[in-house]
């Protein structure tokens, strides 16, 4: 895993922005509830501030380093376009704190949905090493965590989900795109939530499935490789034995020729 995911104090560490973007997700869905909570506004303000500070720290680190970013280079793990997106997301999160609630204003809901899509894109870009450079055990743990959080989200957002285990079942069936129909999203917030559950959960479950398939395929490949190596060692051993036999025959012929050759005039009897 890249070293930058293990550094919490570096200017280019993705953790502050990753945590801030994830923390703003409950505020996004709370604005669609019938009685929005006041903490959602403060969550937007805090998340937007953290995102802006993180973008400013990256920009400051680039300037101190004396490197001018361009459109085709990646500086401190941030592409210039992604850095500009971070500035935009920080300002958008602050704007979300002062906009009307999503259940009261359709333009505010559309705006927040657009920002949520951009946030999902940024989250996936930041957390890509966590998904692509890990083993099956960690993928299973991450998949279980995502399904668990999504189940809690459905239980919180949907009045038709009466228990946590129904929320977990709805999260799994939604992420796996099974759609049995026994439990379905009934509120606007849970329907919007299900869209992101499909995008994130299905992708993560696909990685788990691919990792399991690769494990079996890798086992078969290793068996084929062992058979090939065993055959190569057998052939090499046979070649060595043939070369040793030929070498002994050459030595025997040389000794026989030397015995048959008469001595020269300067050589004694």
- If asked whether residues 169 and 233 sit together in one domain, one would say yes
Domain boundary among 67, 96, 130: 130
pTM of the model: 0.63
For residues 68 and 116, the model is more confident at 116
Q: Which tokens hold the place of 64?
A: 């101190």
Same domain? 140 vs 256 = yes
Question: How close are the terminal C-alpha atoms of the chain, in Å?
Answer: 81
- What digits encode the pLDDT tens for the residues 158-178? 988 989 999 999 999 998 888
Angle subtended at Cα 124 by Cα 25 and Cα 193, rounded to the nearest 5 degrees: 35
Do residues 125 and 226 both lie within one domain?
no
pLDDT at 206: 81
Flag whether 251 is in a domain.
yes
Residue 97 tokens read as: 């704190």
Predicted confidence (pLDDT) at residue 6 exceeds the cutoff of 70:
no
CATH code (residue 188): 1.10.287.70
Domain match, 232 and 187 both: yes
Q: Same domain, yes or no, for 43 and 7?
A: yes
> What pLDDT is stored for residue 168 in this prediction?
93
Structural domain containing residue 140? 134-263
Q: Note whether 104 and 213 are same-domain residues.
A: no
How many domains are there within the chain? 2
Residues 80, 50, single domain; the answer is: yes
Tell me, what's the pLDDT at 115? 93
Say if residue 4's pLDDT is above 80.
no
Q: Is residue 67 part of a domain?
A: yes
Which are the contacts of 223, defined by CB distance < 8 A and separation ≥ 6? none
Based on the fold, state whether residues 125 and 18 are members of the same structural domain: yes
Domain-ending residue, one of 130, 149, 176: 130
Same domain, residue pair 14 and 39? yes
**Does the residue 223 lie in any domain?**
yes
Kindly compute the dihedral angle of the four CA atoms of residues 54, 145, 115, 57, in this order, to the nearest 10 degrees. Answer: 0
Give the end of a domain, one of 130, 153, 178: 130
Tell me the mean pLDDT in the region 208-233: 78
Judgement on whether residues 191 and 248 belong to the same structural domain of the protein:
yes
- Write phi, then psi, for 78 (nearest 5 degrees): -125, 120
CA 184, chain centre distance (Å): 29
Q: Is residue 186 part of a domain?
A: yes
């Amino acid at each position: 895993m890249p070293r930058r995911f293990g550094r919490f104090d570096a200017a280019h560490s993705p953790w502050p922005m990753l945590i801030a973007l994830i923390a703003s997700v409950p505020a996004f869905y709370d604005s669609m509830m019938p009685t929005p909570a006041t903490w959602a506004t403060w969550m937007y303000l805090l998340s937007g501030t953290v995102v802006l500070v993180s973008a400013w720290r990256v920009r400051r680190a680039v300037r101190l380093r004396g490197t001018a970013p361009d459109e085709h280079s990646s500086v401190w793990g941030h592409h210039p376009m992604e850095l500009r997106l971070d500035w935009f997301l920080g300002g958008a999160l602050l704007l979300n704190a002062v906009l009307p609630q999503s259940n009261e204003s359709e333009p505010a809901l559309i705006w927040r949905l657009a920002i949520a899509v951009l946030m999902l894109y940024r989250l996936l870009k930041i957390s890509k090493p966590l998904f692509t450079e890990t083993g099956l055990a960690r993928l299973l743990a991450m998949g279980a965590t995502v399904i668990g959080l999504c189940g809690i989200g459905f239980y919180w957002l949907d009045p038709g989900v009466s228990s946590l285990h129904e929320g977990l079942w709805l999260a799994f069936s939604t992420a796996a795109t099974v759609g049995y129909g026994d439990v379905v999203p009934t509120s606007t917030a849970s329907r919007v939530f299900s869209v992101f559950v499909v995008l994130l959960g299905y992708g993560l479950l696909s990685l788990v499935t691919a990792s399991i398939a690769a494990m079996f395929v890798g086992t078969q490949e290793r068996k084929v490789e062992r058979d090939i190596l065993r055959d190569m060692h057998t052939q090499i051993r046979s070649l060595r034995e043939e070369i040793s036999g030929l070498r002994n025959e050459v030595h025997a012929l040389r000794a026989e020729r030397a015995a048959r050759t008469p001595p020269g005039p300067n050589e004694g009897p």
